[in-house]
């Protein structure tokens, strides 16, 4: 970490996560993600990508080591700290996780309502987020009336609506076709261009190769590659 760049907003220090039944999900992972950075997280299924992302939004806590996100330490964070931190994060999943009985607009505004945003501020923010993902004209549509790519855009709008400093995307293109994948990736690049850091887990090696962005690879819970590091670890034979 000798290069001069923006300070780390996410820092993992020797993080190990063990589950009583399934064993070790992460083993001694140390990494740092800077403000405004775009990072791909890749590796085979079960390599620990989702566990690592869950640790960023404090859904999981380390068994050993520590995670620091925007000044909040996982080891000492309480319920209120977690809620406050998550208001500054945007999270997107492969399965969209939208409320099926609410329109695109209502799905996005829900994220603001439940954290007590004043009603007068909600409308403009929701309109701006939907416009940012290119869905202003579909604000009144229910999720079932939208394509997969559009549903994922609604999920991204919901993640963006509170101006997060980082967007965590857990295989956001996993359920999408090639064209929708490109569209979503392009959108994430634009969001990143506006200053929001993006951490995206994906299996799409072609997408990673073409982008030339920082890539972290996990295998069996260990970090086997980080393109930001000067050299690959010796044990990496992937």
Partner 1 sequence: MRLAFREAMMGFQRAPLLSALSIITIGFSLFAFGLFGLVALNIRNAVQQVEERVEIRAFLTDGTPVEAAAAAVGDVSGFPEVLKAEFVSKEQALVLAKRELKEFREEFDASVLPASIDVRLKDGYRDPRTVAAVAARLRAYPFVDEVRYGDDWVEKVYRLRNIATVAGIALGLAFAAVSVIIIGATIRMTVLSRAREIAIMRMVGATDSFVRSPFLIEGFTKGILGGLMALFLTWAAHQIISSQLIETQFFDPKLSMLGVAAGALIGALGSALSVGRHLRDV
User: By CB neighbour count within 10 A (0-12 exposed, 13-18 middle, 19+ buried), where does 142 fall?
Assistant: middle
Name which position in 5, 6, 30, 113 contacts partner 1 (CB under 8 A). 113
Determine if 41 is a binding residue for partner 1 (CB under 8 A).
no
CB of 89 to partner 1, least distance (A): 8
Round to whole Å and give the CA distance between 236 and 47: 14
Round to whole Å and give the CA distance between 7 and 223: 21
Q: How many residues bind partner 1 (CB under 8 A)?
A: 22
Binders of partner 1 among residues 127 to 166 (CB under 8 A) are: 158, 162
Contact 34, 9 (CB under 8 A): yes
CB of 49 to partner 1, least distance (A): 18
Site string for partner 1, 183-212 (x = CB under 8 A): ------------------------------
Determine if 111 is a binding residue for partner 1 (CB under 8 A).
yes
CB of 96 to partner 1, least distance (A): 10
Determine if 229 is a binding residue for partner 1 (CB under 8 A).
no
Site string for partner 1, 65-104 (x = CB under 8 A): --------------xx--xxxxxxx-x-----x-x-x---
Pick the closer one to partner 1 by CB: 27 or 53. Answer: 53
* Choices 37-45, 113-121, 126-134, 146-154 (CB under 8 A): range interacting with partner 1: 113-121
Structure tokens at 44: 């085979």
Q: How many Cβ atoms from other residues are within 10 Å of residue 206's Cβ?
A: 10
Name which position in 20, 21, 114, 212 contacts partner 1 (CB under 8 A). 114
CB of 56 to partner 1, least distance (A): 12
CB of 113 to partner 1, least distance (A): 5
Binding site for partner 1 (CB under 8 A): 57, 79-80, 83-89, 91, 97, 99, 101, 110-111, 113-116, 158, 162
């Amino acid at each position: 970490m000798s290069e001069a760049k923006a300070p780390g907003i996410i820092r993992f220090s020797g993080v190990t996560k063990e589950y009583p039944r399934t064993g070790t999900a992460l083993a001694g992972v140390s990494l740092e993600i800077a403000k405004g950075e775009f990072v791909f997280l890749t590796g085979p299924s079960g390599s620990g990508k989702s566990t690592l992302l869950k640790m960023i939004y404090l859904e999981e806590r380390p068994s050993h080591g520590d995670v620091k996100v925007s000044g909040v330490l996982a080891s000492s964070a309480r319920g209120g700290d977690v809620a406050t931190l998550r208001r500054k994060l945007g999270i997107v999943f492969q399965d969209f996780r939208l409320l099926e009985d609410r329109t695109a607009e209502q799905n996005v505004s829900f994220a603001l309502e439940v954290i007590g945003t004043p009603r007068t501020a909600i409308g403009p923010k929701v309109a701006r987020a939907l416009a940012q993902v290119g869905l202003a004209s579909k604000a009144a549509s229910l999720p079932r009336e939208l394509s997969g790519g559009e549903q994922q855009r609604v999920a991204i709008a919901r993640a963006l609506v509170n101006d997060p400093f980082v967007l965590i995307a857990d295989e956001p293109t996993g359920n999408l076709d090639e064209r929708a994948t490109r569209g979503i990736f392009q959108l994430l690049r634009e969001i990143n261009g506006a200053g929001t850091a993006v951490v995206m887990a994906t299996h799409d090696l072609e997408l990673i190769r073409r982008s030339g962005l920082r890539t972290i690879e996990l295998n069996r819970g260990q970090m086997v590659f980080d393109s930001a590091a000067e050299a690959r670890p010796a044990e990496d034979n992937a």
